[in-house]
Amino acid sequence: MKTVLITGATSGIGRATARAFAKNNYRIIICGRREDRLAELQDELSQRTEVHTLLFDVRQKKSVKESIASLPEDFANIDILINNAGNAHGLDPIQNGELDDWDAMIDINVKGLLYVSKAIIPKMIERRKGHIINIGSTAAKEVYPNGNVYCATKHAVDALNQGMRMDLNPYGIRVGAIHPGMVETEFSEVRFKGDIERASNVYKGFEPLQPEDIADIIVFVTTRPYHVNIADLMVMSTAQASSTIVNRII
Ligand code: NDP
Ligand code: 8X3
């Protein structure tokens, strides 16, 4: 049985991915900061498979390292790492951006991804196998107005994905990114700091991707024969042609 660790499993894409892996008989480690949600998901998924929860903030490097080091033996050899935890904070022109929002995005989306990877890669190197999926975004490939720092963090994920693939190549470790367009999750609620109406308007007038669509693709990518590495995959709703071009019927 393979073991998968998913960051940001308490919501959206991460939670849907945990459910999809549970259906496919993987041993699952779910991570996040919201303890109640981790417990709820553990209860749900334990009906199907073995589940372990790790409660940590990806910004806290000590706690990331200690949490991952604390994994019981059965869960310690991670076959698949899904670097998914992340969010946008704010959507403002650069001159109006909040420093705290910038810190949050850089610390979570970039440094957090690095801290988690750093804690897991050594065992993958030792075992000469592993698969790392980095969740980027269409914002990793293009910048849109007011997206400045969020787009920069996702461009960094794109660069790190390429760098990891090169550096881990001698050890037979697969590394690839999935870059979703607009997915209806709690993403916009977080971006707009709980303004539910503004958040729901983001997905109005067209059929956005659902987290299950991305989960399905993650399972597909990670179940290819080992010599096949899907290195970089962009996926958008049919109604979306770019970050700013969305065919809305309103
Ligand atoms: P959600 O807001 O629904 O989920 C975000 C997840 O990240 C939550 O589980 C949250 O858990 C976790 N997270 C956030 N901050 C931290 C932190 N400091 N420490 C640990 N975990 C954290 O959003 P999505 O599911 O949409 O986002 C998942 C990924 O997909 C992100 O990287 C996002 O950038 C990317 N993405 C999203 C798109 C979209 O349109 N929705 C499109 C393209 C990419 P908790 O709060 O419990 O810690
Ligand atoms: C999330 C999608 O369009 O807000 O990465 O950048 S978008």
Question: pTM for this structure?
Answer: 0.98
Look at residue 94 and tell me if it is in a domain: yes
Distance 25 CA to ligand 2 centre (A): 31
Look at residue 244 and tell me if it is in a domain: no
Domain coverage including residue 98: 3-235
Per residue in 126-140, pLDDT tens? Answer: 999 999 999 999 999
* Number of domains within the chain: 1
Look at residue 227 and tell me if it is in a domain: yes
Q: Which residues are catalytic?
A: 150
ipTM higher than the 0.95 cut: yes
Q: Which amino acid is at 250?
A: I
Nearest to 81 by CA among 104, 58, 63: 58
| Residue with CA at minimum distance from ligand 2 atom 5 | 137
Look at residue 218 and tell me if it is in a domain: yes
**Residue 136's Cα: distance from chain center in Å?**
7
Look at residue 217 and tell me if it is in a domain: yes
If you average pLDDT over residues 19-29, what whole number do you get? 97
What Å distances lie between residue 238 and 199, 208, 209, 241, 242, CA to CA? 20, 8, 9, 7, 10
Per residue in 75-110, pLDDT tens? Answer: 999 999 999 999 999 999 999 999 999 999 999 999
CA dihedral 183, 81, 109, 135 (to 10 degrees): -30
Q: Assess whether the C-beta atom of 139 lies below 6 angstroms from ligand 2.
A: yes
Q: Assess whether the C-beta atom of 137 lies below 6 angstroms from ligand 2.
A: yes
CATH number at residue 48: 3.40.50.720
Distance 186 CA to ligand 2 centre (A): 12
